Structure 1
Amino acid sequence: MPKFPVKPPAGSSPNRRHTFNVNGTEAISSLKRALNIGLFLAPTVIHLRGDGVPGGKKDLYLSAAIQRPLRKLFSDLCRGAPTLDRKSFQNFLEVEQGEPPDEVSTALTKDTYGFGQFLELWWIKFGLEIEKPISIDDKDLTKPISNYFIDSSHNTYLPSHQWGGRATVETYKRALRQGCRCVEIDVWDNDIAPPPGGSLAGSAGGTPRSERSHKFSKNTLHTAAAHIKGAMDDKIEQTRQFLGVEKVHSKSPRCSQFDVFGPSPDCENNLTLCPADTNEKVDTEQPLGRWKTGLPRDEPIVMHGYTFNQPIGFRQVCKAIREVAFETTHLPIIVSLEVHALSEQQESMVQIMKEEWAGLLVEKPHETCPNGQMPRLEELLDKILVKVKRASLSPENSMAAGSLSPKATVADDDTASEDDRSTKRPQPKVPICENLSSLGVYTHSEHFANFESSSAKIPSHIFSISEDKILDLWKSKRDELFAHNRHFFMRAYPKVTRIDSSNPDPSQFWRKGVQMVAMNWQRWDEGMMLNKAMFSGEHGWVLKPTGYRGHNDESCGRITDPPHRTFDLLVTVLAGQHIPLPDGMPRHKSHSLRPLVKCELHIEKAEERSGNLGEGVIKLRPIELKKQTSCGKTDHPEFGMENRKLWFKGIPKIEDSLSFVR
């Protein structure tokens, strides 16, 4: 069964009842209310007339399978009458659906409604239209950028799992087109091609490339893995051609799990394990296991170090980002750099970014933004921000602490990197050159020591912390963690064991105020469903709820506590259509299919809210967060009156916009 991530809107009624129809062929992934219904073009049975004006409502055609349960609902509401009277319709929308009374009274302008008019209002006006992307003109862009949740990706260059595969620029394009506003680039020295004599040369800080020792170093061991992987791929390909065996990938069940759109039988247009999923004819798509890659030797590469991942060029990534950066929205992008390249190619990185992102790259503070204050989101439209570590500056060359500039403090002592997730090999410390560091204007990386350190008070700093570490901090430093995230950026990234590109539940970090939860967009799982629900139609930036934002956002001059309330939710499941048959089940056996609908809530539990996640927690009344219907019959099931209502009652202390229904 497909699963549907949805979230209720901020300010919506706490007592909601929802009736919906399930369609297995395709489903809306998220709505702004706990409501999920599918609309699918099908053979003509009923015609909902549009108004005929350009840009107006379109004609809709519903199949008999979809129409049948909807007609039954309409008939039940009419209670024997041929049409639905206004009072009954109003009662259905307000009581059963939980719609705001003022919106209902405005929408209902007639005394009676036929079936088509009923569907047009209920299914479209109070259903599908709320899934439309919010106009950027209707979003509140007046708050400091640290007061927003940001749609973020992890190791964006990877198309599948974390330890192998071929990096590609297509993953950046797809993520950005789908609303991602924080992408990650791991940058390394380009030592992929050997020097004369055939050995591999490692980069050494301060040593001219022509004079470097022709031997392995810590900074080039990652290229050895790429060579081994490439050689293996070449041998497999030669054997396959010799035996006349065709490549098999599009029918594999593994294809669907690496798909940000959800399960699909076709891998060609999705992010999958399939190696031939890009149509771009670029140098990086050549077999990188061979010595020559077509990448300029004086420009850095992008790859996952110390793995079997094969690289692409840093310039090509920058070109791809520029190409689609603001294709779907004008809201800014944050580029998170994990820098392993040494100073020579760091300077090359700066030059490339300035060339490829000319006119878009933020290189200095906004003229209207005073020192020590973060800019408003509206001041960064069509801009690219760089997140990078600070340069190693001597104390005497530093400015006063507390300045917005990343040059304001002494050298960063962060000797570890996110690549520690993929290996226990000691990571060499790579000092960041001043020119590259200066690009971290509003978003510079800081090593987390504690919340009392001077670096934790600099407005532009970002702490990147693993998911496990954040959960540990929530146990021991709950108040400090939440207070920090009200004012300053924090980024969560997946733990070391997620080599299959799985994801955590991002909502548990949003509820702790974490602005950026870096998700593995390579895999469509529960975590990505919730991420999709959070940012659907929001242009990648979602304003934090009241109580989660910093003091300079509060008009009253003081911080208010997050609002919570008791929540009741009733979901009524009518029917389903086109439920996919299990693999191997022939069509004529569909009568034996017994589908059901599962529904679960993703909310902040009492023990999570208190920070006491271990033993000794006071046992509170257990809240049942998962329910399911009884089984239907066939791939077009209709769920009877029994067990089709999924009722969650009396759920305490809920923050609507950070609670989800799946």
Structure 2
Amino acid sequence: MLRFFCILFIFTLSFGIQGIQEDDNLQSMLVGTVMRKIKSRSWKKQRYFKLQDDCMTIWYKSKKAGNTHSTFSVSDVEAIREGHQSEVLLSIADEFPADRCFTLVFRGRRGNLDLVAESAEEAQSWISGMRKLIENLENMGEREKLDQWIGDWFKKADKNNDGRMNFKEVRDLLKMMNVDMNEHHAHRLFTMADKSQSGTLEDDEFILFYKMLTQREDVLRVFQEYSVDGQTLSQSDLEDFLREEQLEEADFQQHAKQLIERYEPSDTAKLLNAMTFDGFLMYLGSAEGSIFNPQKRGVFQDMSQPLCHYFISSSHNTYLMEDQLRGQSSVEGYIRALTRGCRCVEVDCWDGANGEPIVYHGHTFTSKILFKDVVSAVGTYAFKVSDYPVILSIENHCSVEQQRVMAQHLNHILGDKLLKSTLDGKVPIGLPSPEDLKGKILLKAKKIGGLEESLNEIAEDSLNGEISDEDEVAELDEDNLHRESVRRRIKKSKQRLSKELSDCVVYCKSVRFSSFKHSRVHSKFYEVVSFTESKARKHLRETGAEFVHHNTQQLTRVYPSGFRTDSSNFNPQEMWNVGCQIVALNFQTAGEGMDLNDGLFSQNGRCGYVLKPGFLRDAEKRFDPEGPQKQDGYQPVISGQQLPKVNIKEDSIVDPLVRVEIHGVPMDQAKQETRYIDNNGFNPVWYDTLHFTIHTPELAVVRFVVEDYDKTSKNDFVGQYTLPLSCMQQGYRHIHLLSKDGTSIPPSSLFVHIRITRLE
């Protein structure tokens, strides 16, 4: 694996000289540019931006702030938006033309960087240059990414920038890399690598040192178990490994050939149809060697079933970037949710000035945004990452007059994307499928009368129809949130609805819930009920089987309790267990809830729709999550590599432990931990075996969490990875860890051995 470290220097050198000579934009970025950093209409300050020689880092500083400067990595940038494509840049649109403006969008929950160049040419140079750098990164293979990571550490440790490292720099490097190595042992490795006996390591010597440092004994043990000669895996050896350990359902002969061709770095070994240890490491570190089954990454499920047969990735109070009381409202919340595959977003609408409806968390100090801006953002970003339908969940507090304005904006801005009638114009007998509704935006809101009446054009006019919002009042009252707010809403609970807005609601009519017995007799398939988490929890505990049956016929939305003013999340798993489709979470808040949501929707092309198990779709099954029957056993054995530091103290080293959590039906809920390893976040090995019994594997989601053990206080979070049990590959697999924000933190990983056995 590590022989490719030299490629790093060849790669950056060729990119830094030859590649840059051929690219005027990158040359310009290396020279640097003065641009305005914009935070608001009143905060516009000049900064000097420059691409560093590594072509991986952007450095910028204030002209007036002395030596104060900041940097960010190109790998942190997810996208570049040209023109006035952020609220901040829209606010100064009258001052700076669109062709000089652009926005850098960062991964995770980090705020955007809005910039204005001195000229349209300079703006375009940075936009094109950044896109080329990002494209280059995305095209990197795993080995190049690892090389890049090693090179970054080398640069950090080479304090005097002389291209070589003395022993003190090596010791500092080990601490930075989370290794608390015995000084005598470190010096022995240093001396062995210092072939020139110069007292420093350079080029190949550093490669040798790093290779000794990162020797993967855990993988070597597996390799030698299957290698007949101890040096290589013949094609036959590799076939045995794939058959006996990886348990892959494939043509083993063909698959072994493909793996050798794809991952073996030695041309000599390739000619012999063999795989060296380096090639074996490359394979195990690849997507094919990861815990997530690559066959389930694309859209593989049947997408032609009724909408209520799917779990739907859903957001609560989507406009909020922070807490529920004083946080900022922003269209950015909609953009981020939609680009993460969310398919149901919430819009709280209130009367605004000048006849324009606004969106914010009513009766709080959250900031306000225009409804039409929200609709524009949804129209632009709805189908960037998924073609499947988006549901706009409207909480309507507007007067009839401003509801008419809402309807105008929806029709004018969304055009044909807005679903205005049933697909064939006739009265349907059931919900259409995600496949049928591709490219469509659906409104979930109150509606005058039923779908049948509106199709026959006999719905009442808004002046005669009063629509009760008592269900929302009851939910808020139960949570006892903002008593004054509740009193105000009760006064307005008999709210009139505009026919224009009502006509925009087709398959998702919001209705008040009475009881499951009432719903079974009277409910229509297009009616949607909403519950707070506490109400839903009460129903699933008291009448779980009835709840499941209800969700085989209709859509149900569950949203966080009003007590969660900090925008925290509940555990969505218990709602999925009874088949609730629209389990709405605060997407802006990292943690277990969003990890589980990201994990469930990481399959099926991340399209935002996951087909529910058969027993949650069939009304005759009578599934009860409290009493499941099936059983599976599953056992991971674990080691870890290059875990990130979590403590801000420079000399601190991680004491890692791994917790494996099973989230599923109540009988399956379980957590087990490994022991912790003292002072080694670089290459800890546990060889611990954890065993779980799982009764309903179809609903099980597995979360791997790495923490830094602390005996006196709460453990610090290091990384996590969450996936459905159904997407898990058996055998020896790498788990590529994610940050708290759900972004990748290469090359941090866990190495596990997994066996799933069915118990009779």
TM-score by length of 2: 0.57
Question: Quick one: distance in 2 between partners of 1:652 and 1:379?
Answer: 35
Aligned position for 1:466: 532
Q: 1:550 offset after TM fit, Å?
A: 4.3
Structure with greater Cα Rg: 2
Structure 2 residue runs without a partner (length 5+): 1-74, 77-106, 109-141, 151-206, 261-272, 705-760
Q: How does 1:148-547 map to 2 (within 5 A)?
A: 148-191=310-353, 297-367=354-424, 370-391=427-448, 412-417=467-472, 422-425=481-484, 426=487, 427=489, 428-429=492-493, 430-453=495-518, 457-536=523-602, 537-547=605-615
Q: Which amino acid aligns with 1:603?
A: G
Aligned position for 1:636: 682
Question: Quick one: distance in 1 between partners of 2:417 and 2:401?
Answer: 24
Aligned position for 1:82: 231
Larger RCO (CA within 8 A; separation ≥ 6):
1
TM-score by length of 1: 0.65
Q: 1:378 offset after TM fit, Å?
A: 1.1
Is the CA contact (8 Å cut-off) linking 2:357 and 2:371 kept in structure 1?
yes
Residues 141 and 482 (structure 1 numbering): CA distance in 2 closer, same or farther, change over 3 Å? Answer: same
Q: 1:318 offset after TM fit, Å?
A: 0.6
Q: Which amino acid aligns with 2:395?
A: E
Q: Which amino acid aligns with 2:638?
A: V
Q: Which amino acid aligns with 2:250?
A: D
Q: 57, 68, 78: which one pairs with 2:216?
A: 68
Residues 438 and 655 (structure 1 numbering): CA distance in 2 closer, same or farther, change over 3 Å? Answer: farther
Aligned position for 1:597: 658
Aligned position for 1:259: none
State the SS of the aligned residue for 1:347: helix
Q: How does 1:102-141 map to 2 (within 5 A)?
A: 102=250, 104=252, 106-109=254-257, 112-124=274-286, 125-127=288-290, 130=293, 134-136=297-299, 138-141=300-303
User: Aligned-pair RMSD on alpha carbons?
Assistant: 3.6
Q: Which amino acid aligns with 1:424?
A: R
Q: 1:471 offset after TM fit, Å?
A: 1.2
Q: 1:332 offset after TM fit, Å?
A: 0.8
Question: Quick one: distance in 2 between partners of 1:368 and 1:139?
Answer: 28
State the SS of the aligned residue for 1:172: helix
Question: After alignment, is 79-88 or 173-182 more displaced?
Answer: 79-88
Question: Quick one: distance in 2 between partners of 1:449 and 1:580?
Answer: 52
Structure 1 residue runs without a partner (length 5+): 1-24, 30-37, 47-60, 192-296, 552-557, 609-622
Question: Quick one: distance in 2 between partners of 1:565 and 1:379?
Answer: 34
Aligned residue pairs, count: 474
Residues 595 and 659 (structure 1 numbering): CA distance in 2 closer, same or farther, change over 3 Å? Answer: closer
Is the CA contact (8 Å cut-off) linking 1:402 and 1:458 kept in structure 2?
no
Residues 440 and 468 (structure 1 numbering): CA distance in 2 closer, same or farther, change over 3 Å? Answer: same
State the SS of the aligned residue for 2:415: coil
Q: Which has the higher strand share?
A: 2
Aligned position for 1:653: 695
Residues 317 and 629 (structure 1 numbering): CA distance in 2 closer, same or farther, change over 3 Å? Answer: same
State the SS of the aligned residue for 1:364: coil
Question: Quick one: distance in 1 between partners of 2:466 and 2:642?
Answer: 61
Is the CA contact (8 Å cut-off) linking 2:427 and 2:455 kept in structure 1?
no
Question: Quick one: distance in 1 between partners of 2:483 and 2:149?
Answer: 62
Q: Identical aligned pairs, as a percentage?
A: 27
Question: Quick one: distance in 2 between partners of 1:45 and 1:342?
Answer: 57
Aligned position for 1:232: none
State the SS of the aligned residue for 1:359: helix
Question: After alignment, is 532-541 or 110-119 more displaced?
Answer: 110-119
State the SS of the aligned residue for 2:398: coil
State the SS of the aligned residue for 1:571: strand
Q: Which has the higher helix share?
A: 2
Question: Quick one: distance in 2 between partners of 1:374 and 1:423?
Answer: 37
Residues 646 and 602 (structure 1 numbering): CA distance in 2 closer, same or farther, change over 3 Å? Answer: farther
Q: 1:100 offset after TM fit, Å?
A: 3.2
Residues 299 and 129 (structure 1 numbering): CA distance in 2 closer, same or farther, change over 3 Å? Answer: same
Is the CA contact (8 Å cut-off) linking 2:313 and 2:601 kept in structure 1?
yes
Aligned position for 1:147: 309
Q: 1:657 offset after TM fit, Å?
A: 4.4
Describe the superposition over 1:497-555 as per-residue Cα deviations: whole angstroms up to 9, x where unpaired: 1111111111111111000100011100100000000111431011111111146xxxx
Is the CA contact (8 Å cut-off) linking 1:390 and 1:411 kept in structure 2?
no
Residues 602 and 345 (structure 1 numbering): CA distance in 2 closer, same or farther, change over 3 Å? Answer: same
Question: Quick one: distance in 2 between partners of 1:602 and 1:405?
Answer: 47
Aligned position for 1:43: 147
